[in-house]
Amino acid sequence: MIFSIIWRLILETKKTIKELADELGISKQAVRKYFNKLPSTMIPTKEKGKYILSLDIQDFIRSKASTVNSTKTPTVDKLVDTLKDEFIADKDNQITDLKVQNDDLRKLLDQQQQLQLKTQQMLEEKTLLLEKVQKKRWWQIWTN
């Protein structure tokens, strides 16, 4: 009984490259890269064609992987922030352009309405004049 518990603990503490990669959420190639940089004091064992990583080796690889991830995260965050700022600036420019276009259209509409009003007034004047001329008798047309 005790032997089986100890054996399970030993098996749980030793992991393959794939198991460690899955645990860390990185690729096997990344673990392999750190694995190749192991100090000469850390020597992995090989069983059935697979490397078995001791706790020391796992801790070494974890520390290297976390260092790389922590340096990449701010860079990605900065890139995301930069892209957001660019999108916001682009949207601000579009809003400004639309406001200018809206003002121009409002001015054009106002001018068109004024022109329409003048045209209507002129038409009414001509209509009144025509009615006045038509009300006159034929001999009154030449006198006035």
Does the pLDDT at position 68 exceed 60?
no
In whole angstroms, what separates CA 143 from the centre of its chain?
Answer: 82
Sorted by sequence, the CB contacts under 8 Å of residue 141 that are 6+ apart come out as: 133
Which of the four pLDDT bands, split at 50, 70 and 90, describes residue 22?
confident
Closest Cα partner for 51 from 8, 9, 7, 21? 21
What are the domain boundaries of the chain?
Answer: 2-135
List Cα–Cα distances, 73 to 38, 58, 68, 78, in angstroms.
24, 22, 9, 9
Which of the four pLDDT bands, split at 50, 70 and 90, describes residue 63?
confident
Measured distance CA(47)–CA(49) in Å, rounded: 5
The predicted-structure confidence for 43-59, as pLDDT tens digits, reads as follows 778 888 888 888 888 88
Q: Is the pTM of this model over 0.85?
A: no
The predicted-structure confidence for 71-130, as pLDDT tens digits, reads as follows 555 677 788 888 999 999 999 999 999 999 999 999 999 999 999 999 999 999 999 988
The phi and psi torsions of 52 (rounded to 5 degrees) equal -105, 125
